[in-house]
Homo-oligomer: A and B are copies of this chain.
Amino acid sequence: MMDYTLGKGKYENWIVSETKFSPDTLGKCESIMYLGNGYMGLRSATEEPYLKEVRNLFVNGTFNKFGEGEVTELPNLADVTRIDIRIDGERFSLELGKTENYVRQLNLKNAELVRQFDWTSPKGKILRFRFRRFVSLENLHLIGMKMEIESVNKPVSISFDSGIDGRMTNSGSQHFLEGEKRIFDKQFLQLLQHTTESNVDVVINSAHQVTVNGKEIKNQRMHIDRRKIWLTFEAELNPGDKLEMEKITNVYTSIDRPFSEEGISFQQLRDVALQDLRDSLQIGYDGLFKKHVQTWEERVWNHYNLHIQSKDGFDLLSLRFAIYHLTAMAPAHDERMGIGAKALSGEGYKGHSFWDTEIFILPFFTYTNPKVARSLLTYRYLGLEGARKKAKENNYEGAMYPWEAAWPSDGEVTPVWGAVDIVTGKQTKIWSGFIEQHITADIAFAVYQYYQITGDQDFMNRYGYEMIFDTAKFWASRLEWDETHGRYHINDVIGPDEYKEHVNNNAFTNYMAHFNLQLAIKYYEKLQRENQSLLKQLNEKLHLEKAYPLWLERSEKLYLPQPNADLVIPQDDTYLQLKEIDLTKYKQSKKVGTLFLDYNLEQVNQMQVTKQADVLVMFYLLNQVEPFFNEEVKRANFHYYEPRTLHDSSLSLSTHAVLANDIGETELAYSLFRRAAEIDLGPFMHSSDHGIHAASIGGIWQAAVCGFAGLRLTGDQLSFHPRLPDHWEEMEFTIYWRGEPVLIKVTKSSLMIRTHNGKDIPLNVRGENMICHGELEIQL
């Protein structure tokens, strides 16, 4: 059972709590309380094991493919969190005995996981437990754990096994060859792993410091077994005695920089890792934790400076939750890595990057931490290699980005087979990897947005122009000439609404492709004017002089579906003619995907039912380029499509929240914002089983900042249209415009903007152009 109100005093609205333990709902807290630092993610499984646990440790970028019939994925590394505790010789478990005063908390401010409770064993011994854990933001390789057990009423024997367990798999797939296992100085455990196909070496070291009433005790026995290495500790506690265990672990891999680049030998990597662990153990949990907390304070909370006053503290908590996770998931240390759809919190979507990053997550970084945004876009630049491979395989030109991406050079990694088809009894074929093509334009859009907001010309010169030109080349080759209408079509695609496969002229796809082509034209002409030498270089590489006329000709003749008499833009050529069914049952369901208990995908393809925002996302994105769609059109489409949308994708609600705001339905927007936040937070105990919803978490931030504050890029300008919901009194946050911080404060009746060092910036507030001379305050 979850409680989001337990943070008090300086931790008010900083604490996510579970107040009742249930062995049947472990996935919720494992995911939403996961610990990470962009380098690695540690799912928050409990120390003592339970049947339904999912125990995961992922290191970003270590992708491996198990074998034929599977796709590459982030492998589940050896586990260090499990501790098998015996009390008077019997297994300790919260399923047995009696548990009181139970609470498990993720402290968002400190990025620490704490769990504590009093437990009465089946034999009547009362013990007080406290577990603490963090994944350091200061030393990216470090995991700190602490366990305290106090005997309350009777003498008790405690023993426990703790070590490194390399028997973990990804739902049965083992990505690692057995490596060496070794115990140095009877204390430092080391287990090596080597991925079977991608040849990544992993070093995991763990060491323990165990005391009873402050007096150190040594391990009673060492063990090495298949894929496992561990120690046994034993102690006798009298009432009042306290056992403390600190377990310090570190993880290094051969793809870590600088090791991967400096030709350091594996033995050196092992030595560095072991020495780091020896040093860390000297410092101890408290010292290491202190540095970690300082780092969060400086790099995260002080930096983003986001605050709201709401009648309901949950709103602020959910925004902090978003920033916590956006920090934990982002591989700010290495531009060869992206963000997985479940971040580093679970096996779901295999660590793959989707359009989720560019459309739902990246805006947060683009506006508030451009360095990270640049790293994530550079990942896509490096991904041109895979994108060109995919285009070639499909007989297209240029760069066709994979629907799902792993290591940049991998190309397409979307799995081909999914859940059961209830009609045929076979697995349903997943077509996204073949025909969900809008991702290529989505990435182009993200580059555009990044450039407009940051003005990062260096990025454009090195990476951005090449990405825009090569994606435009793809689209030019992708369009299909329709002789009947004398225009170009894009047939046989999947749009954002994945309940419609093999459709023609998905509006979102066509418009975004058009945008991508237009952007290439614009940048080509800009380089002609401003940077001939760069254009020459790019031309040599990409043959732009042949591409440019095609862009002109084809983008002009590309069919862009227009609003019908009711102002509804047809989602694709057939959607509006499909039969309608009563969706009440599915709309009311607390679980996603329930439609497929009654229909298979082939049948769903024939109904007016939408998985997620499709046309609406297009409004949101393209109005940042030019005011293509007016409020009337937005409103008509919102009211047409929303009732037909099951929000079976976590990407859907936050977009609807922003759009509801755009059409002035602020209270509806607020309720959509809350629903979006409750995908991971909230009372539903199974919604995050496979991992958190990274895009939805990015969407929470956008719903607040781009929704209620109405922050928006419009062409070359920053614009605002604040509309705080009833619950909110005030909202404050910092963004970066063209490299400079801008403080924004919104109340129900005013908008205050302050620039760095009194700089001038042009703005548009509620449709009016103005200049902010250092500071601007407007009554609303």
**A residues lining the B interface (CB < 8 Å):** 23-24, 49-51, 66-70, 90-91, 93, 95-96, 166-169, 171-174, 177-186, 196, 221-227, 229, 419-420, 422, 425-427, 597
Contact = CB atoms under 8 A, between A and B. Distances in A.
Given A24-B90, A181-B427, 13 more contacts: A24-B91, A51-B51, A67-B177, A69-B179, A93-B95, A169-B169, A169-B174, A171-B225, A171-B227, A172-B227, A186-B425, A221-B597, A222-B425
A179 B172 CA distance: 13
B169 A23 contact: no
B95 A224 contact: no
Contact of A91 (B23, B93, B167, B169): B23
Nearest to A173: B174
Contacts of A168: 172
A50 B50 CA distance: 9
B70 A178 contact: yes
A225 B174 contact: no
A51 B70 CA distance: 28
A167 B174 contact: no
Contacts of A95: 93, 95-96
Contact of A69 (B24, B177, B225): B177
A70 to B, nearest CB: 6
Contacts of A174: 66, 169, 172-174
Contacts of A184: 425
A598 to B, nearest CB: 11
Contacts of A183: 420, 425-426
Q: Chain copies in the assembly?
A: 2
Q: Which 10 A-B pairs have the closest CB atoms?
A: A167-B172, A183-B425, A224-B420, A174-B174, A69-B178, A172-B227, A67-B177, A171-B226, A222-B420, A69-B177
Contacts of A179: 69
Contacts of A49: 51
Contacts of A427: 180-182, 224
A195 to B, nearest CB: 10
A167 B425 CA distance: 20
A419 to B, nearest CB: 6
Contact of A426 (B90, B166, B172, B182): B182
A301 to B, nearest CB: 38
A69 B181 CA distance: 12
A221 B420 CA distance: 10
Contacts of A185: 425
Contacts of A422: 222
B69 A425 contact: no
B177 A167 contact: no
A224 B67 contact: no
A169 B226 CA distance: 12
25 contacts: A50-B51, A66-B177, A67-B178, A68-B177, A69-B177, A69-B179, A70-B177, A70-B178, A93-B95, A95-B95, A166-B172, A167-B172, A169-B172, A171-B227, A173-B178, A174-B174, A182-B425, A182-B427, A184-B425, A221-B597, A222-B420, A222-B422, A222-B425, A223-B419, A224-B419
Contacts of A68: 177
Contacts of A169: 167, 169, 172, 174
A177 B178 CA distance: 18
Contacts of A93: 95
A578 to B, nearest CB: 26
A23 B426 CA distance: 37
A180 B69 CA distance: 9
A177 B226 CA distance: 21
A481 to B, nearest CB: 39
A72 to B, nearest CB: 14
A90 B167 CA distance: 29
Contacts of A426: 182-183
Nearest to A51: B49
A336 B618 CA distance: 65
Nearest to A221: B597
Nearest to A78: B172
A651 to B, nearest CB: 23
A628 to B, nearest CB: 42
Nearest to A175: B174
A119 to B, nearest CB: 16
A214 to B, nearest CB: 27
A52 B392 CA distance: 51
A167 B169 CA distance: 9
Nearest to A185: B425
A182 to B, nearest CB: 6
A182 B421 CA distance: 10
Contacts of A186: 425
Interface centre among A91, A178, A181 (most CB of B within 10 A): A178
Contact of A67 (B90, B91, B182, B196): B196
Contacts of A69: 177-179
Contacts of A425: 182-186, 222
Contacts of A221: 597
A597 B227 CA distance: 20
Contacts of A70: 177-178
Contacts of A224: 419-420, 427
A171 B420 CA distance: 29
Contacts of A166: 172
Which of A67, A186, A420, A426 is packed against the most chain B CB atoms within 10 Å? Answer: A420
A342 B23 CA distance: 35
A756 B230 CA distance: 60
A73 B395 CA distance: 45
A337 to B, nearest CB: 24
A156 to B, nearest CB: 18
Nearest to A179: B69
Nearest to A229: B420
B167 A420 contact: no
A179 B427 CA distance: 11
A778 to B, nearest CB: 54
Nearest to A166: B172
Contacts of A50: 51
A420 B223 contact: yes
A179 to B, nearest CB: 7
A426 B93 CA distance: 32
Contacts of A223: 419-420
